[in-house]
A and B are shown apart, each in its own frame.
Chain A
């Protein structure tokens, strides 16, 4: 039988679990595409452990040909920290959403960053709790309508959206790598993820990458409005780029 050209999936992706479980137009698989290509290019597949959280991120539990663990909500950071401490040869990746990282799991994220744990945290920000139907999250934008903010988020009573990478940069040592990427600039996001993984593999320190993502299902947007919400509203509030340590520290 003649061989047909096959889809351009990263080698690390498990083809037998595709099509994957994410909704049409979801940003998670784009982040996981950038992550898969980075792992492949660095040649660290055999020593990487992938941990996913509760929420939509758990749909990645069978996504890769990697050792994978799925933890309780917000607890994937300490699980991966524990794995890495038990076997420092491992490259640990904690994959979570903004609800897991900035709400229920924020204490773990903050303390892992302060301790400069040698793991990479990859946090996907889609501005709401997607798996449970689109409730307001710490990252919901001002005036954004969700299931629990039907008149739009009111910063007076619910505060302003969390700026995660800025928070981590402020508390983590200088050797930590911190960046915010976006799925609308996938080559740049991949570069950030690769730098983060290199920071961890070389033993320099913690890596934290936030990826701005898409959720057309809960934003109730078509394809055009989906890109518009990401590129205008989200990029306007969450600045994309690497966060260098402030001069004069340490």
Chain B
């Protein structure tokens, strides 16, 4: 099996480390609607289809609830709670 590596853009916001994979994000915006603190908004970075990707920092601080990660149809978001930063080296 061929291993494929995706490169994330990493943001820190509130209690979460927000990893966004522009190579997967298609800019559907489903995560924006499901964020309970409205921290997710559109970014200037373009995704795989040339549409805007998303970024945190547009509302209240992230609570690391992972709703966005759950509802992303493309697995383009990974949330790691800041308290679990040590485990991040695993890939």
List A residues at the B interface (Cβ < 8 Å).
Answer: 3-9, 13-16, 18-20, 22-30, 33, 65, 183-184, 186-187, 214, 216, 222-224, 226-227
Interchain CB contact under 8 A, A3 and B48: no
- Whole-angstrom distance from the CB of B6 to the nearest CB of chain A? 5
List B residues at the A interface (Cβ < 8 Å).
Answer: 1-8, 19, 21, 23-24, 26-30, 32-34, 48-49, 51, 69-71, 73-78, 80, 88-91
Q: Assuming the A-B contacts A5-B19, A29-B74, are A24 and B26 also in contact, with contact meaning beta carbons closer than 8 angstroms in the complex?
A: yes
Interchain CB contact under 8 A, B91 and A7: no
Interchain CB contact under 8 A, A26 and B73: yes
Q: Assuming the A-B contacts A15-B3, A18-B4, A26-B73, are A8 and B78 also in contact, with contact meaning beta carbons closer than 8 angstroms in the complex?
A: yes
A15 to B6 alpha-carbon distance, docked (Å): 9
Interchain CB contact under 8 A, B76 and A7: yes
Task: Give me 29 A-to-B residue pairs in the complex whose CB atoms sit less than 8 angstroms apart, sorted by A's number.
Answer: A3-B90, A3-B91, A4-B5, A5-B88, A5-B91, A6-B5, A6-B6, A7-B21, A7-B24, A7-B75, A7-B76, A8-B69, A8-B77, A15-B6, A19-B23, A19-B24, A19-B74, A23-B26, A24-B26, A24-B28, A24-B51, A25-B29, A27-B73, A29-B73, A65-B1, A184-B71, A186-B70, A223-B29, A223-B30
Main secondary structure of the interface of B (DSSP, over half): loop
From A16, A187, A216, contact of B4 by CB (8 A): A16
A139 to B89 alpha-carbon distance, docked (Å): 46
A227 to B51 alpha-carbon distance, docked (Å): 20
List B contacts of A226 (CB < 8 A).
30
Interchain CB contact under 8 A, B78 and A7: yes
From B7, B26, B89, contact of A19 by CB (8 A): B26
- Whole-angstrom distance from the CB of B85 to the nearest CB of chain A? 11
A216 to B77 alpha-carbon distance, docked (Å): 20
List B contacts of A25 (CB < 8 A).
26, 28-30, 73
- Whole-angstrom distance from the CB of B35 to the nearest CB of chain A? 11
Interchain CB contact under 8 A, B73 and A30: yes
List B contacts of A16 (CB < 8 A).
1-4
A sample of 8 more A-B contacts (CB under 8 A), given A5-B8, A223-B29, is A4-B91, A7-B76, A18-B75, A19-B26, A24-B26, A25-B73, A26-B73, A33-B73
From B4, B7, B70, contact of A15 by CB (8 A): B4
Most buried by B among A13, A15, A20: A15
